[in-house]
Chain A
Amino acid sequence: MPNTPAEVVQLIALLIVHIVLGLVLLGGGRALGRRSFLVAATAPLLAVIWAISNSAGVLDGSVPTDRVNWIPELGLSLGFRLDGFSLLMVLLVSGIGVLVNLYSLRYFSAGRPGLHRLAGLLLVFSAAMLGVVTAANLLVLFVAWEVTSITSYLLIGWDDADPKARASALQALLTTGAGGLAMLGGFVLLGQSAGTFDIAALAAKPPTGTAVEVALVLVLLGAFTKSAQFPFSAWLPGAMVAPTPISAFLHSATMVKAGVYLVARMAPIFAEQGIWRPLVLTVGLVTMLTGGYRALREFDLKSILAFGTVSQLGFLMTLFGAGIPEATTAGVTVLLAHALFKAALFLVVGVIDHQAHTRDIRLLGNYGPGWTGPKLIAIVSGASMAGVPLLFGFVAKESAYDAFANGDLAGRQIVLAGLVVGSMLTFAYTARLLLGAFRPGRPGRDVSSGLDAAAASPIPASPIPAVAAPSPWFWLPAALLATFTVVLGVVPGLASGLVGAASESLDRRIEHVHLALWHGVSLPLVLSGLTLAVGIALSVAGPMVAAVQSRIPRLADGQANYLATMKTLNRTADRVTGFVQPGSLPIYTGVILLTAVVVPGFMLIRTPMPDLPAWSTGPGDWAAAGLIIAGGIAATVVRERIAAVLCLGAVGYGMALIFMLQGAPDLALTQVCIDTLGAVVFVLVLRRLPNRFEDRATRIGRNVRLVVSGLVGIFVFVFILVAVGVRTETPVSEEFVARSLEEGGGRNVVNVVIVDIRGFDTMGEITVLAVAAMGVYGLARLTRREGRELKSFAPLRRPGTREEGES
C-alpha cells in the first residue's frame, strides 16, 4: 500500500504484537508463572511509547487514517485512524495497562496457578480495546468490541473453580453480548442508510430517517449494556469477583468506557436525531443517581467502588450524550480524571485486601506503621473523585457544571440539578470509602449501625489485628496515577493540549480548549461549593443516611431483574422445546410431509398443467412399475418390520431397473448398492425393536395418515409432471456433456459432475455424511452405555439418599 501512514502500520503491528504475545503467554507461559506479567507489560509499554512519539502530530490536528482490505467483496476493510480522542484513549488503556501488569507482579503470590492465562488474556483484551478506540469503521469497532466482551468473560471467570465467578462472568457476557447484538443491528441499519460504515464519512454526511432513529436506539442499547447503564448495571458490581488488577483495568478504567467512547463519537453527529438526547440524558442521570445511592449501602470496599463506577459512567454518559460542545469537552476531562483516580483507588483497595485479607469497612481501620503512602494515594484520589479543589477531579466537575449552566439546551436545568445531586452522592460514598478504610483507632466498629447492616451480613466477632505494611513497589503504580491527579489539578493547563485535541476530534465546533483552576465566581463555583457542603453533611450524618436507606424498599434491583429475565427465558425455552419436540415420530414425519406438500403445492396449483407424456417407453417399464407399486403397497400392509424393509428394498430395486432401462447404469449401480446396504443397516437397528408393528393408531389417526400419504403421493406425481413439462430453457446437462471430456477429462459425465463440475456439492455432502455418521455413532453409544453408567456412578452417591427406582 503506497500511501499508508507510518502511524497506522505501526498501530497494526502493535495490535499484532499484543495478540501474538498474549497467545504465546496463554499457550506456553505456564513456566513463567508470575513473571508473565513482566513479559506482558512490554506490549502496552511499546504502545505508550508509540502514542507519545506520535502525539505531537496528532495534537496539531493531523489524523492518520488508513484501511487494509479485508473482505473486498463485501466492502469490508480493516480501517484504523488515530485522532485526538483515540490518542487519549490509547494512552489511558496502555498506560494503565502497564501499571496494572507491574502491580500484578506484587498482587499475586508466586505459586498461584493460571497467572500466565491471566496475563495473556489481559494482553488480548488490551489489543481488542485498542482496536475499539482506533477503529475507523463501525464493523471493525464491533469485532473489537465483541472481543473485549469475550476476554472480559474469561477474565471475570478466571478463577473457574468458583461458581460465583462463573455466574458473574456469564452475567457480564450475556448482558454485554445481548447489547452487542442490538448494536450490530444498529450498525447495519446505519451503514445501509448511509452507504458506508466509515465513521468519518458518517460524521461528514450523517444519514437521517426513521431507520436511522431506530438504529441509534439499538446502538445505544449496546453502549448502555457495555457501560453498565441503568437498568443494565447489575453485571458490573458482579464482575468484582475478578482479581482486583482486572477490576481496576477492565471494570473501571477501560472496557466499561467503551460504551461511553461510542456515545462520545456518535453524539455530536446524531444527538439531534430521534430520541437520542432525551434517552441518553435520562439513562445517564438515572444511572448516576442510582449508582451513587447504592454505593452508600455497601460494606465491601470494592463494591462501593463498583457502584461508584456505575455512577461515574452515568455521569460520563450524560456529558457525552448531550452532544453539545461544552459538555463534550467536559466529558473528555471527566473521562481522563476518572481513569486516573478510579484506577488508583482500585489499586489501593487491592493493596489493602492483599495485606488485610478483608475488604469489609466494618473490620478495617487498624493499620500498622508504613501505611502513609497508600493512605495518601487513597485520600488524594478519593478527594479528586469527590471534587475537592486543587485536584483534577475538581477541574473536571467544574467544567461539567459549566457546560449545563449556560446555553440553550432544552431541560438543561434538570440535567444540571441531576449532576449536582449525583456529585453530592459521589462525595458521600467517597467519604464512606475513605473513612471506612482508614478511620483511625476503630478496629471492628460499625460505621453505619443501620438496621440493614446487621440483617444483611453478619460481622465476625473479633477484629482483625494490625495490618502489616505493604512494600512500596506494591503501591508505586497507584502513586504514579495519584501524582497525575495532583499535578493536573494544580496546573490543569498541562492537560489542555490533550483534552483540546480529543474534544476537537469529536466535535468540529470545538475550538481552543483551555482548562483552568479558577474561572471566577460563577454559578458552577457556587454549585461546587454547595456540592461540597451537602456532601460533608451527608457523610457526617452517615449512620442516619444508612438508617433512612434501610427503611426504603429497594426499588429497582438490577440483579433481581437479571435473574427474573434469565428464569423467564429458560422457562420459555423449555415450553417451546416441549411444544415443538413432542418426541413422537408420526408427528415429526407428518409435519415434514405436510410442509413439503403445502408450501410448494400451493404454487403448483397455480401453474398450468402440461400435457401428459407417454405412459411407457417399453414393456420393461411396466415390469419395473409393477415391482415398485407391489413393493410399496406391501410395505404398508405387512405386519413384520423386517418384511416391510424388504418390501422397501423391492421398491428400490424397481427404481434401479428403471434407471437401467433408461440408460443410466451409474445410477442403477448406486441404487442397488444403497438398497442392499440400507437393508443391512435397517436390520442392525430393527434388532432393537419389536418384531411386529404395534398398531395403536385410532380410527381417526389412521384416516389422518391415509390422507397425508395420499396427499404426498398426488403431490409428488403432479410435481414431477410439472417439473418435467414446464422446461423452457435448454437443460444445463447438455453443456455438462459437452464439456465433460474436454475440461473434466472423463467420459463418464455423471462422475465428472460429481467430482469436478459440482465438486463443491460433493465436498459438502461427504462432510454432512461424516458428521451424520459421527452423530449416529454417538447416539447409539450413548444409549448403549447408559445402563452401565448408572451402575458405575452408584457408589459416588451420597450415603443415605435412596436411589431412584429402587423403592
Chain B
Amino acid sequence: MRRSLILDVVVRVVFHSSLMLGLFLLFTGHNRPGGGFVGGLVAGAGISLRYVSGGIDEVRSTVPLRPWTILGTGLMVSSLTTLTPLFFGRQLMEHAKFDLHLWFFGAVHVNTALLFDVGVSLVVIGTIVMLLVAFGERMPTVSNPFIRSNEDR
C-alpha cells in the first residue's frame, strides 16, 4: 500500500473543517440538529481520515493525548455535571440555565447540559481513537519523503 499525496493533501484540508463541524454540532445541538454524540462522531471521522491517509503514527501525532485519557476525561466531565447539582441542594442531573453577557458576541444562553454533552462527545472521540489504536497499524512503506515516520530513524 502506497501513501498517496493527493489523499494526504485532501485529508489535511478537510481535517480541520471536520473538527470545526464537530464543535459546531456540539454547541448548536441544544437548539438545532446536532449534539454531543454527532459532534463527537464527526470529529472522530476527521481523525479516522488521518488514519486512512497516514496510518496509526499519523493519528498519534495528531492526537497528543492517550485515548483512555480522552475517554476518562469525558466520563468524568459528564458524571461531575450529573453530580454537581447535589452540592447545591438540587436534584441529580438538574441543569442550570443562565445568560452570559460577552461584550463582543452579545448575550449567550448557557445551559450546563452543554457540559454534559461535551463529556459525551469526548467519550465518543476517545472510543474512536481507541479503536484506531487497537486495530490500526503503521503504514508499511513510506513513499512521502516529507514525512519521517518511526521506521526511518
Contacts and interface: CB of A to CB of B under 8 A. Distances in A.
B135 A780 contact: yes
Nearest to B41: A673
A769 interface: yes
A744 interface: yes
B116 to A, nearest CB: 5
B37 A776 contact: no
Contacts of A745: 30, 95, 97, 109, 111, 113
Interface in B27-54: 29-38, 41-42, 44-45, 48, 51-52
Contact of B134 (A665, A666, A777): A777
A750 B35 contact: yes
Interface in B59-88: 67-68, 71-72, 74-75, 78-79, 82
A659 B49 CA distance: 26
B65 to A, nearest CB: 14
A144 B148 CA distance: 62
B34 A677 contact: no
A27 interface: no
Interface residues of A, number: 40
Nearest to B133: A777
A766 B51 CA distance: 24
A766 B35 contact: no
22 contacts: A669-B25, A670-B41, A677-B41, A677-B128, A744-B95, A745-B30, A745-B111, A746-B111, A754-B37, A755-B120, A756-B95, A762-B78, A763-B82, A766-B120, A769-B123, A770-B75, A770-B127, A773-B126, A777-B131, A777-B133, A777-B134, A781-B134
A410 interface: no
Interface string A746-769: 111011101110011011001101
B142 interface: no
The winner among A666, A674, A776 for most chain B CB atoms within 10 A is A666
A680 interface: yes
A748 B35 contact: yes
A674 B127 CA distance: 13
Contacts of A756: 93, 95, 113
B34 A669 contact: yes
Contact of A755 (B67, B74, B117, B126): B117
A766 B78 contact: yes
Given A776-B134, A777-B134, A673 B78 contact: no
Contacts of B130: 773-774, 776-777
Contact of B38 (A669, A684, A687, A746): A669
A449 interface: no
Contact of B75 (A744, A755, A766): A766
Contact of A670 (B38, B52, B132): B38
Given A666-B35, A766-B120, A777-B133, A759 B93 contact: yes
Contacts of A670: 37-38, 41
Interface of B: 25, 29-38, 41-42, 44-45, 48, 51-52, 67-68, 71-72, 74-75, 78-79, 82, 93, 95, 97, 109, 111, 113, 116-117, 119-120, 123-124, 126-128, 130-137
Contacts of A456: none
A676 interface: yes
A684 B32 contact: no
Interface string A651-683: 000000000000001100110011011001100
A776 B42 contact: no
Given A745-B109, A746-B111, A748-B34, 14 more contacts: A684-B136, A688-B135, A745-B95, A745-B97, A746-B113, A751-B29, A751-B117, A752-B30, A755-B95, A760-B82, A766-B74, A770-B126, A773-B131, A781-B134
B131 A681 contact: yes
Contacts of A673: 38, 41-42, 45
A479 B52 CA distance: 80
A685 interface: yes
B52 A755 contact: no
Contact of A754 (B32, B35, B109): B35
A759 B136 contact: no
Interface in A114-149: none
A760 B93 contact: yes
B7 to A, nearest CB: 14
A131 B109 CA distance: 53
Contacts of A760: 82, 93
Nearest to B33: A665
Contact of B79 (A676, A684, A763, A781): A763
B123 A770 contact: yes
A773 B113 contact: no
A384 B135 CA distance: 72
